Amino acid sequence: MEQLLLLIFLPLVGAIITALAGKSAKIVSTFFSVVSLALALVIAFNFIPDASTQFEVNLPWIADLGINFHAGIDGISLLVVLLTNLLVPVIILSSYNHEYKNPAAFYALILFMQTGLLLVFTALDAFLFYIGWEAALIPIYFICAIWGGKDRIRINMKFFVYTIAGSLFMLMGIIYLYLQNPAHNFNIQAFYALNLDSTQQGWIFWAFFIAFAIKMPIFPFHTWQPDTYTAAPTQGTMLLSGIMLKMGIYGVIRWLLPIVPAGVHDWGQVAIILSIIGIVYASLIAFTQKDAKRLVAYSSIAHVGLISAGIFAFNQQGMQGAMVQMLSHGINVVGLFFVLDIIFSRVRTNKIEELGGIAKVAPQLALTFLIIVLGTVALPGTNGFIGEFLLLMGVYNYGIWAAAIAGLTIIFGAVYMLRMYQQVMLGQTNSLTITFTDIKGTEKLVLYTICALIIVLGVYPKPVLHLTEASVQHLLEQVNQKLNTVN
């Protein structure tokens, strides 16, 4: 109990201290992020990989409304807790060569967002989940609005309107479930136990699905994403792509499937179709991109579409693949955006046609970039392979044609990512890239760490699969049992 409370609120304490730290904010935020990672690893080492909820805390909060501070960790939530606490220090370290205006506020907002994310990933009370959901939005809005690029206000407003609209749909769904609950509380198990008919579940499905689909994002709720990823400061883009979109994926797994299995049964095919359309659409758009950052943004939509399809295929392989790929995607996409940030910091452009020959003058950057690209395109032996393999197997078990079309994400991804790598890194240097300098200091630390994770998780994914297997199996059994009861 004490460990989980410390895990959730340590970043918040760090955010307050960082906000007061002035010029030392960068170091202070690094310290708190590393301590949070160490605490998450302690919890992971003491976690028993079964289907139970561990490190549970359940304290009265607003008793008159049946609201408790109820949180806990199982194999599913532990994976995204580890991802969050791993990526935050990496993201902070990636900023060391930047001088942001008002750094104390910038780094404090990152740590504040970390607390919101951890609330989402550990909440066992729907009200607490919603508080974390909104709390994570506030800091990323200000990060993008204050430190973003050209036209950031208009772009950020679109992002804010999209996410707030989705959140309101989810809030209506939560309130409806609360009113249907005889115990009049927001406990997740009480919501799981509700006997809603198919019509009720259909409405709740869409209330939750829209909120989660916007956050992931899934076609056609994706239109905020490419502009926001491009206009946000790189560390903001990393937070959005590496961690925040996992809120939507996690929400589908933790809340949508177990609460409204009949709604998923009735409307899951629509979700799969939208996911597969998103894969093909985003991949085709990625082919046409002249800006490398926008290309990676569309690549992310395609990969998340495959994860979503695997979840709604609703079998062990698809769910396990989604869990592994959440971790892999977070690591890989942060690596991709960091490499592009390094390139931009040297030559002030991410236009693909203006680059070339960087491998000749920066061989270490070229090698690490290649490893990250290969992980992204799911080369066997990298972290992207096992997740995409399981996802495609799960979608194949759902339907062969769905798998055939969804598999295009691997083919298309390999083409546009490797072509981008070739144009940026290979060939002859030009007037911009001839003076390009290789990675150094914290750049090496961040990229070497990411590359090591890509290789280690690719060669030996068993610990991740073992961590989530029992929880995933229990969730599927729980949902199937409830679905049989409804039918």
pTM of this structure: 0.93
Q: Are 57 and 71 in contact (CB under 8 A)?
A: yes
Residues 6+ apart with CB under 8 A from 294: 226, 229, 230
pLDDT of residue 197: 86
pLDDT of 1 over the 70 cut? no
Percent of the chain surpassing pLDDT 70 = 99
For residue 259, give the H/E element and its range: helix 257-259
* Residue 54 phi, psi dihedral angles, 5° rounding: -120, 165
pLDDT of residue 188: 92
pLDDT of residue 418: 94
Q: Considering only the C-alpha atoms of the chain, give the largest distance between any 2 of them, rounded to a whole number of Å.
A: 71
Sign of CA dihedral 212, 92, 153, 337: negative
Mean pLDDT computed over 219-242: 88
Tell me the C-alpha distance between 160 and 240, whole Å: 13
Mean pLDDT computed over 70-94: 95
Q: Are 142 and 109 in contact (CB under 8 A)?
A: yes
Percent of the chain surpassing pLDDT 90 = 67
Q: Are 77 and 43 in contact (CB under 8 A)?
A: no
pLDDT of 241 over the 60 cut? yes
pLDDT, tens digit, for every residue of 424-442? Answer: 999 888 888 898 999 999 9
Q: Are 275 and 358 in contact (CB under 8 A)?
A: no
pLDDT of residue 171: 94
pLDDT of residue 481: 83
Tell me the C-alpha distance between 277 and 405, whole Å: 9
Residues 6+ apart with CB under 8 A from 192: 258, 259, 478, 482
pLDDT of 144 over the 90 cut? no
pLDDT of residue 487: 56
* Residue 166 phi, psi dihedral angles, 5° rounding: -60, -40
pLDDT of 467 over the 80 cut? yes
pLDDT, tens digit, for every residue of 162-206? Answer: 888 889 999 999 999 999 999 889 999 999 988 888 889 999 999
Tell me the C-alpha distance between 120 and 130, whole Å: 7
Work out the burial of residue 198: count CB atoms within 10 Å of its CB; fewer than 13 is exposed, 13-18 middle, 19 or more buried: middle
pLDDT, tens digit, for every residue of 364-420? Answer: 999 999 999 999 998 999 999 999 999 999 999 888 888 888 888 788 889 999 999
pLDDT of residue 2: 83
pLDDT of residue 158: 86
Tell me the C-alpha distance between 372 and 123, whole Å: 32
pLDDT, tens digit, for every residue of 452-464? Answer: 999 999 999 999 9
